[in-house]
A and B are shown apart, each in its own frame.
Chain A
Amino acid sequence: MSCEEPTTSPTPENNITVVSSDGKEFLLDLKLTEQSETLARLISNFEYDRTDVKKDPVPLGNITSAQMQKIIEWLQHHRYYPKWEQNDIHYSTSFTFETWVEEYLNIPNNEMFELLNAANYLNIPRLFSTICRIMASRITGKSAEQIRTVLNIKTDVKNDVYTGIPIQEDSSSSEDGMSEISLSPSPPPI
């Protein structure tokens, strides 16, 4: 993956203005907007990539200025990265992230939540997928009880969907690699 520093700055011909929900304007290089499928589609539809077309500011009603600032930081860092491929999304038994990404996403949970929503709204797949991977990394390798704690899940499981039998935690076995798995007893007619 290439990761060169951006060397060009936005000029009126190659940028658009986006307006956050709190009214702050941001000048965005058209090259950066290629990472957002929402913005790229909008630019294509309105032909904002043509120099002879007047570019009206684009209102982003769901994105605050703080979120927009954070997103621009992401877009600039990944400016020269290759285009995101859907195939890149696959589960991994170990999670590793770039140091920059780890620092970038070392933010409070509410900010992470808002950033995920913003990434989803603007359709920035690399950012969206990275945040999802971060979240997955938080529960991978944990027991069911630990997952409940980490994700703040209030259990409401009473019956197994397959058998209708009340759920009981099975932690009796230690001879196999799935010992922590919670399995419901399901005595079928034998």
Chain B
Amino acid sequence: MGNKMSSPKTLTSFEKWNDLPPEMKLVCIDHLDFKTRFLLRSTSRTERALVDAHQFQMGHVQMQGLLPYPINAIIPSGYDAQKLTIIPSLNSQKEIYVISVRNATRFTETIVPLLVFILKTSIISEFSIEMIRQRDWVNVFGNMLEPASFRIKNFYGVILSHQETMFFVSKLHSINESIHLDANGCQKFPMERLIEDPAILNTKLLGIRDLPNKDAVWKLAEKWIENDSPIGTTFRVTSTNHRSFHQFAVVFKDRLISETNEEILIKTDNPSKHILLKLARRCRVSRPLICIVVSSETKELEFETFGKWVTKKMMPLSEYLSFLFVEDMNEEDDLNGSSFIILMLHCVWLLITMILKCLFGRH
């Protein structure tokens, strides 16, 4: 007997499906791709309950604006067009769904139920969600989602409002591996409330961009000491207040082991663990800091490896434009020359639209 492979030709139907016990149906559902599962749940109440009760793995889910930041921030359109990208498996990117929405009705009828379904039923490796203008995700989802119910391994909250940030963080389940947030340079970023959240405390990696709170680093480090957080627990932060670094040494002066211009090492209550604060490689206007729980046996030479992290920074438009004209673009920056050209083209397009409106009017 050979091992020749072929697709099934004669198999067309299986009317005994309804006679199968739920556990056998679930094994069959295990073999279905995301789309077929979703379609199956719309065939009957029984199938819906079955699919909804069964958690499945999801590779990447991203909800983003059609225009990249900061371009979308200057387009005064009535509705911020959105794109939902779903990649069920990160290993095989053959199956990719992209749903674009350009009106509010389709958003509420298509995107929201689909997102709720995904968030309720899947274990997602990467989930990224952006702020949408004129809407608040907290209101969009309402009471449809339970606290600590998102099984998201890596969460990316891109330019969310503080209320939205707190909303999503409160929904994260403890299986979380990393949380990436934007503070948008806002002094009122709810850092103190965030560090009380179990998801933030238990995540292996917390990344916050444009965080001005000078006390964020040491307050989180205090929590780590209190909770005896595991080795490797990391906090990456950019654009933090320039006093953060030295204040860290002042606050933990009783625990201080060593201090240089780029590194501060402190003791924790657990003799096998230390906490290292290190200035990471400086990039543009950002001031990246990394705070990490390290083994007390880690050699000083190894500290350098923790600093090899460069922020991919979102920055306010004014800040972006200001250094565009004074510094060269770097490949490592998110915003490069091509994005600047796109920005300029959009500005030209806006200008033409405004001129045409003035000349001919709406009537």
| Contact present for B42 and A162 (CB under 8 Å) | no
B288 to chain A, nearest CB (A): 37
Which residues from chain B contact A151 at a C-beta distance below 8 Å? 13-15, 17-18, 43
Which residues from chain A contact B106 at a C-beta distance below 8 Å? 173
Distance of A120 Cα from B205 Cα, bound (Å): 43
| Contact present for A5 and B36 (CB under 8 Å) | no
Q: Given A99-B5, A100-B2, A132-B24, verify A157-B31 contact (CB < 8 Å).
A: no
| Contact present for A148 and B1 (CB under 8 Å) | no
A161 located at the interface, meaning its Cβ lies under 8 Å from any Cβ of chain B in the complex = yes
Distance of A137 Cα from B14 Cα, bound (Å): 11
Q: Given A139-B36, A161-B48, verify A176-B100 contact (CB < 8 Å).
A: yes
Instruction: List B residues 82-112 near A (Cβ within 8 Å).
Output: 92, 94-100, 104, 106, 108-110, 112
A47 located at the interface, meaning its Cβ lies under 8 Å from any Cβ of chain B in the complex = no
Q: Which of B133-141, B173-181, B231-239, B291-299 has 4 or more CB atoms under 8 Å from chain A?
A: B133-141
A181 located at the interface, meaning its Cβ lies under 8 Å from any Cβ of chain B in the complex = yes
| Contact present for B5 and A144 (CB under 8 Å) | no
B100 to chain A, nearest CB (A): 6
| Contact present for B48 and A157 (CB under 8 Å) | yes
Interface centre among A89, A167, A175, by most chain B C-beta atoms within 10 angstroms, is A175
Which residues from chain A contact B100 at a C-beta distance below 8 Å? 175-176
Q: Which of B20, B30, B31 is close to A116, meaning CB atoms less than 8 Å apart?
A: B20
Instruction: Give B9's nearest chain A residue, CB to CB.
Output: A102
Instruction: List B residues 140-194 near A (Cβ within 8 Å).
Output: 140-142, 144
Secondary structure dominating the interface of A: loop
Q: Mark each residue of chain A from 164 to 176: 1 if its CB lies under 8 Å from any CB of chain B, else 0.
A: 0001011001011
| Contact present for A96 and B97 (CB under 8 Å) | no
Q: Given A97-B5, A157-B45, verify A109-B14 contact (CB < 8 Å).
A: yes
Distance of A135 Cα from B13 Cα, bound (Å): 8
A58 located at the interface, meaning its Cβ lies under 8 Å from any Cβ of chain B in the complex = no
Number of B interface residues at 8 Å Cβ cutoff, please give it.
Answer: 67
A110 located at the interface, meaning its Cβ lies under 8 Å from any Cβ of chain B in the complex = yes
| Contact present for B110 and A153 (CB under 8 Å) | no
A110 to chain B, nearest CB (A): 7
Which residues from chain B contact A95 at a C-beta distance below 8 Å? 7-8
| Contact present for B30 and A144 (CB under 8 Å) | no
Which residues from chain A contact B14 at a C-beta distance below 8 Å? 109, 112, 135, 138, 150-152
Q: Which of B7, B12, B16 is close to A112, meaning CB atoms less than 8 Å apart?
A: B16
| Contact present for A176 and B97 (CB under 8 Å) | yes
| Contact present for A190 and B113 (CB under 8 Å) | no
| Contact present for A143 and B39 (CB under 8 Å) | yes
| Contact present for A157 and B44 (CB under 8 Å) | yes
A77 located at the interface, meaning its Cβ lies under 8 Å from any Cβ of chain B in the complex = yes
Q: Mark each residue of chain B from 36 to 74: 1 if its CB lies under 8 Å from any CB of chain A, else 0.
A: 101110111111110010000000000000000000000
Residues on A lying within 8 angstroms of B by beta carbon are 1, 3, 5, 77, 89-100, 102, 105-106, 109-110, 112-113, 116, 120, 128-129, 132-144, 147-158, 160-163, 167, 169-170, 173, 175-178, 180-190
Nearest 3 A/B pairs, CB to CB? A182-B42, A136-B31, A152-B15
Query: 11 additional contacts, CB 8 Å, given A141-B36, A188-B140?
Result: A91-B30, A91-B32, A116-B24, A144-B43, A151-B13, A162-B113, A162-B120, A181-B42, A186-B116, A188-B142, A190-B104
Residues on B lying within 8 angstroms of A by beta carbon are 1-20, 24, 27-33, 35-36, 38-40, 42-49, 52, 92, 94-100, 104, 106, 108-110, 112-114, 116-117, 120, 135, 139-142, 144
